[in-house]
Structure 1
Amino acid sequence: MTFKRSHSATYLAGLLARNLARALQERARALGFAPGQFPVLLELWSEEGLTQKQLVDRLDVEQATLANTLSRMERDGLVERRPHPSDRRAQLIYLTERARAMEDQAKQAAEEADAAELAGLRRFERELMIEYMRQAIERAPQK
Structure 2
Amino acid sequence: MRTQAPCLSIGFLATTTGRLFTRLMEQKLKPAGMRAGQIPVFLALGKGEILNQKYLAEFAGIEQPGMATLLARMERDGLIERETDPNDKRVSQIRLTPDGLMKGQKIIPIMEEASKEAFKGFTPLERDILITLLERMSSSLERCL
TM-score strictly above 0.5 = yes
**Structure 1: unaligned runs, 5 residues or longer:** none
Contact 2:48 2:96 in 1 (8 A): no
- Separation (CA, whole Å) in 2 of partners of 1:5 and 1:100: 43
- Separation (CA, whole Å) in 1 of partners of 2:24 and 2:130: 18
Task: Return the letter of the residue paired with 1:101.
Answer: M
- 1:6-85 matches, within 5 Å, as 8-45=9-46, 48-85=49-86
Contact 2:41 2:60 in 1 (8 A): yes
- Structure 1 match to 2:143: 141
- Separation (CA, whole Å) in 2 of partners of 1:122 and 1:7: 27
- 1:73-112 matches, within 5 Å, as 73-112=74-113
Contact 2:42 2:107 in 1 (8 A): no
Question: Could you tell which deviates more after superposition, 84-93 or 119-128?
Answer: 119-128
3-state SS of the aligned residue for 2:89?
Answer: coil
Distance 1:29 1:5, change over 3 A: farther
- Separation (CA, whole Å) in 2 of partners of 1:20 and 1:31: 17
- Separation (CA, whole Å) in 1 of partners of 2:100 and 2:5: 43
Task: Return the letter of the residue paired with 1:141.
Answer: R
Render the CA deviation track for 1:102-125: whole Å, top value 9, x for unaligned: 233221111111111221211111
Query: How many residue pairs align between the two structures?
Result: 142
Task: Return the letter of the residue paired with 2:41.
Answer: V
- Separation (CA, whole Å) in 2 of partners of 1:12 and 1:125: 17
Distance 1:47 1:138, change over 3 A: farther
Computed over aligned residues only, the root mean square deviation of the Cα atoms, in angstroms, reads 2.0
Q: What TM-score do the two structures reach when normalised by structure 2?
A: 0.88
Identity %: 31
